[in-house]
Amino acid sequence: MGKKLSLTLLLVFCGSICSQAQTEQITIVLKGDHPLVVDEVSESPDGYWYKRGNVTTFLDRERVLRVDHPKPAEATTTPAPLVGSGKWMLADAQKIQDFFSAKFKKSLPLTAFGQSDLHTRWGLDHRNGMDVGLHPDSSEGRALIEFLRNQSIPFLAFRGPVPGVATGPHIHIGNRSPRVSGR
């Protein structure tokens, strides 16, 4: 009876690990072809590099419709952003850009550096913040967040849109942007 119970527990444990690993995979949706389920994906100017097991492959940008990152299973709405704390000045941005360039051999994908028209329309003071166009659950996003935490740099990581705050997944570096208007 003891061996049977041990074997059952082992199978349940392995099954939960396997199902968890499957939910953490990324799907690349291709034009006119079956989607690819991959372990990692990174974007380059010409296309996408993806990794399955120990094999890394390149896809031309024209073949890819979109990249779907895993969604947390327990969340039915957009979860609250991840928050990091510490001191920050926009003048320190070069340190982050240097880290990202050294690690990924490409430029940090900035979507906003300081105040942008969108932040102004939304009534946010974003003069001392920068936004990075990475999904926080992507391999690059996770590496950036780990770096920010290790350096005690404040950040907010958004996994999806938040009305009046975020248009979609990204990592905001800097303190929260205070409202400057009555919105």
HEC readout, 44-109: ECCEEEEEECCEEEEEEHHHEEEEECCCCCCCCCCCCCEEECCCCCHHHHHHHHHHHHHHHCCCCC
111 in the same domain as 48? no
Contact 113, 130 (CB under 8 A): yes
Mean pLDDT of 112-139: 90
**Exposure of 155 by Cβ count < 10 A (0-12 exposed, 13-18 middle, 19+ buried)?**
buried
| Domain span holding position 43 | 2-68
Whether 75 maps to a domain, the answer reads no
Q: Are residues 63 and 99 in the same domain?
A: no
pLDDT of res. 6: 44
| In a shared domain, residues 104 and 160 | yes
CATH number, domain at 38?
2.30.30
Confidence label for 147 from pLDDT (cuts 50, 70 and 90): very high
Q: Are 127 and 115 in contact (CB under 8 A)?
A: yes
Least confident of 1-5, 23-27, 32-36, 117-121: 1-5
Domain check: are 108 and 151 in the same one?
Answer: yes
